[in-house]
């Protein structure tokens, strides 16, 4: 039976990792993989996470099931982090939290929830978007469409985006990246979010906001502007939050599906559906990452340490963005690449062509995705002069 099943190509990023590992160039630079890196190129366990884990090992008394919504304390700490401690949505008890296996798990729950409960509603994704968005909604059987996000000059195409949003049929779902847009790094300004809200209200769209990088852009509160604006000004919304990046617990698979409804009664209705979706997928979410997040956010000292470490990470990334543009100055390319310092998060659409990306890899051992997406966290004070010189070489022909 199995012999008729064809092999599919592996993940492009995994191929890139393998090629990077096999490259013997001592100056090689990895700008491909989507994880945070410190100045030494490592993705360390955050100090607050280590402390919380030590405490958990000491104090854990059971490994019994935690239920389809996860640990109830998880929602109690994640909801105020995402929606704001003083959120009117929380005061009105119209937000439900379901702990999920990572942001990906939360997105799949959202996709299944839409497929089961909002039949006939299609989803609209930015072009480009995180490639897994396509697979997740296809797998759940939700029909996808696109809205433009980047123009031919490699800049945010907000006019194009808004024009398409205005054509979306009433009731369809629009997926928005809360901050640190993956793969482009182009985020909406507050004024642009305000305009998106107007269209969402006018067309009665259902916003699904993917919040995978809270704290990686401008700050924990600042990055939530669009999320909170929409949550507070529409009846129904879906938010998928990930703790992978901001707590550095990638492999612990920790995320949250947040369903916001018109009122508490309606919230309890949709919440009951989310539990069924979770049960049918994996029954209960993994507990460990959630327990770490609860421990950190409930303890003022640990919370303070976590916040300052997150600030260090964010400032390192934003500093590297500025340093990169500075390093291009000697080649007269600083103006052409000034937008890199304005983008946010780990990723940048550099505007480099696939051919230029290939040359960087073959001639300089610098690895990035062929779309020209670079992980800025792969830059370092040591490698920036080398990377700048290589980019100047391929850009100038
Ligand atoms: N959404 C976006 C835009 C992402 O970039 C990612 C992670 N790369 C996710 C969701 C999923 O994150 P997680 O690792 O928590 O599943």
Tens place of pLDDT for every residue, the chain, 397 residues? 999 999 988 777 888 889 999 999 999 999 998 899 999 889 999 999 999 999 999 999 999 999 999 999 999 999 999 999 999 999 999 999 999 999 999 999 999 999 999 999 999 999 999 999 999 999 999 999 999 999 999 999 999 999 999 999 999 999 999 999 999 999 999 999 999 999 999 999 999 999 999 999 999 999 999 999 999 999 999 999 999 999 999 999 999 999 999 999 999 999 999 999 999 999 999 999 999 999 999 999 999 999 999 999 999 999 999 999 999 999 999 999 999 999 999 999 999 999 999 999 999 999 999 999 999 999 999 999 999 999 999 998 7
CATH class of 10-44+308-395: alpha beta
Nearest residue (by CA) to ligand 1, atom 2, is 212
Report the pLDDT value the prediction gives residue 13, as an integer from 0 to 100. Answer: 81
Report d(CA 189, CA 60) in Å as an integer: 44
Give residue 244 CA to ligand 1 midpoint distance, Å.
Answer: 8
**Vertex 98, ends 120 and 227: CA angle to 5°?**
70
Three-class DSSP category at 241: strand
Give residue 392 CA to ligand 1 midpoint distance, Å.
Answer: 31
Ligand 1-lining residues (CB < 6 angstroms): 34, 102-104, 130, 177, 182, 210, 212, 242, 244, 250, 255
Report d(CA 323, CA 327) in Å as an integer: 6
Nearest residue (by CA) to ligand 1, atom 4, is 212
Q: Which two structure tokens, joined as six digits, stand for 177?
A: 């990246």
Q: Which of 71, 172, 210, 223 is catalytic?
A: 210
H helix or E strand, kind and range, residue 20? helix 12-22
Q: Ligand 1 pocket test: pick from 14, 99, 104 the residue with the most ligand atoms within 8 Å of its Cβ.
A: 104
Report the pLDDT value the prediction gives residue 280, as an integer from 0 to 100. Answer: 96
CB neighbour list of residue 195: distance below 8 Å, 6 or more residues apart = 162
Looking at domain 65-298, which CATH architecture does it have? 3-Layer(aba) Sandwich (3.40)
Give residue 24 CA to ligand 1 midpoint distance, Å.
Answer: 31
The answer to whether the CB of 29 falls within 8 A of the CB of 366 is yes
Q: Ligand 1 pocket test: pick from 99, 125, 130, 177 the residue with the most ligand atoms within 8 Å of its Cβ.
A: 130
Determine how many CB atoms are found less than 10 A away from the CB of residue 395.
18
**Vertex 297, ends 291 and 299: CA angle to 5°?**
100
Nearest residue (by CA) to ligand 1, atom 7, is 212
User: What distance separates the 2 farthest-apart alpha carbons in the chain?
Assistant: 63
* Nearest residue to 367 (alpha-carbon basis) of 61, 2, 25, 49: 25
Give residue 103 CA to ligand 1 midpoint distance, Å.
Answer: 5
Q: Is 210 a catalytic residue?
A: yes
68: Cα within 13 Å, side-chain hemisphere = 15
Report the pLDDT value the prediction gives residue 11, as an integer from 0 to 100. Answer: 79
Whole-Å CA distances, 76 to 125, 258, 270, 345, 390: 30, 12, 18, 26, 48
* Sheet strands side by side (includes 255-260): 95-100, 255-260, 237-242, 206-211, 173-177, 123-127, 144-148
| Overall pTM > 0.90 | yes
Give residue 308 CA to ligand 1 midpoint distance, Å.
Answer: 22
The answer to whether the CB of 289 falls within 8 A of the CB of 45 is no
CA dihedral 179, 210, 221, 263 (to 10 degrees): 140
Q: Ligand 1 pocket test: pick from 212, 239, 253, 256 the residue with the most ligand atoms within 8 Å of its Cβ.
A: 212
Q: Is 262 a catalytic residue?
A: no
Report the pLDDT value the prediction gives residue 10, as an integer from 0 to 100. Answer: 78
Q: Is 306 a catalytic residue?
A: no
Q: Which of 130, 193, 223, 295 is catalytic?
A: 130
* Nearest residue to 376 (alpha-carbon basis) of 219, 221, 213: 213
Determine how many CB atoms are found less than 10 A away from the CB of residue 397.
5
Report d(CA 208, CA 230) in Å as an integer: 10
User: Contacts by 328-337 with C-beta closer than 8 Å and gap 24+?
Assistant: 328/388, 328/391, 328/392, 330/388, 331/388, 331/389, 331/392, 331/396, 333/388, 333/391, 333/392, 333/395, 336/395
Domain boundaries, the chain: 10-44+308-395, 65-298
Give residue 367 CA to ligand 1 midpoint distance, Å.
Answer: 21
The answer to whether the CB of 238 falls within 8 A of the CB of 366 is no
Radius of gyration of the chain (CA): 21
């Amino acid at each position: 039976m199995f012999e008729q099943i064809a092999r599919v190509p592996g993940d492009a990023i995994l191929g890139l990792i393998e090629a990077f590992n096999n490259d013997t160039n001592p100056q090689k630079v990895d700008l491909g993989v989507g994880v945070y890196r410190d100045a030494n190129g490592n993705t360390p366990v955050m100090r607050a996470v280590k402390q919380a884990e030590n405490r958990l090992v000491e104090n854990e008394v059971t490994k019994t099931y935690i239920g389809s919504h996860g640990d109830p304390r998880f929602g109690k700490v994640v909801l105020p982090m995402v929606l704001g401690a003083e959120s009117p949505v929380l005061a009105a008890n119209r937000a439900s939290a379901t702990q999920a296996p990572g942001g990906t798990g939360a997105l799949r729950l959202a996709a299944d929830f839409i497929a089961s409960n909002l039949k006939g509603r299609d989803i609209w994704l930015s072009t480009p978007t995180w490639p897994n968005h396509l697979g997740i909604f296809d797998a759940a059987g939700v029909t996808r469409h696109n809205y433009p996000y980047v123009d031919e000059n490699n800049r945010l195409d907000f006019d194009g985006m808004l024009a398409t949003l205005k054509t979306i049929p009433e009731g369809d779902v629009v997926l928005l990246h809360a901050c640190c847009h993956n793969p482009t790094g182009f985020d909406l300004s507050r004024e642009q979010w305000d305009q998106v809200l107007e269209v969402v209200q006018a067309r009665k769209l259902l916003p699904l906001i993917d919040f995978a990088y809270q704290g990686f852009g401008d700050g924990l509160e600042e990055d939530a502007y669009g999320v909170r604006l929409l949550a507070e000004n529409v009846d129904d919304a879906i938010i998928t939050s990930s703790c992978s990046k901001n707590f550095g617990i990638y492999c612990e698979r920790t995320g949250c599906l947040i369903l916001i409804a018109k009122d508490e009664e309606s919230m309890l209705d949709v919440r009951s559906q989310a539990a069924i979706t979770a049960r049918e997928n994996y029954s209960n979410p993994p507990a460990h990452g959630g327990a770490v997040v609860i421990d950190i956010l409930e303890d003022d000292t640990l919370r303070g340490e976590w916040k300052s470490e997150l600030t260090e990470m964010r400032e390192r990334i934003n500093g590297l963005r500025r340093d990169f543009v500075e390093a291009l100055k000697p080649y007269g390319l600083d103006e052409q690449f000034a937008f890199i310092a304005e983008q946010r998060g780990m990723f940048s659409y550099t505007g480099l062509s696939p051919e230029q990306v290939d040359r960087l890899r073959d001639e300089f051992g610098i690895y990035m995705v062929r779309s020209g997406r670079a992980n800025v966290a792969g830059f370092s004070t040591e490698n920036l002069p080398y990377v700048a010189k290589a980019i100047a070489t391929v850009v100038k022909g």
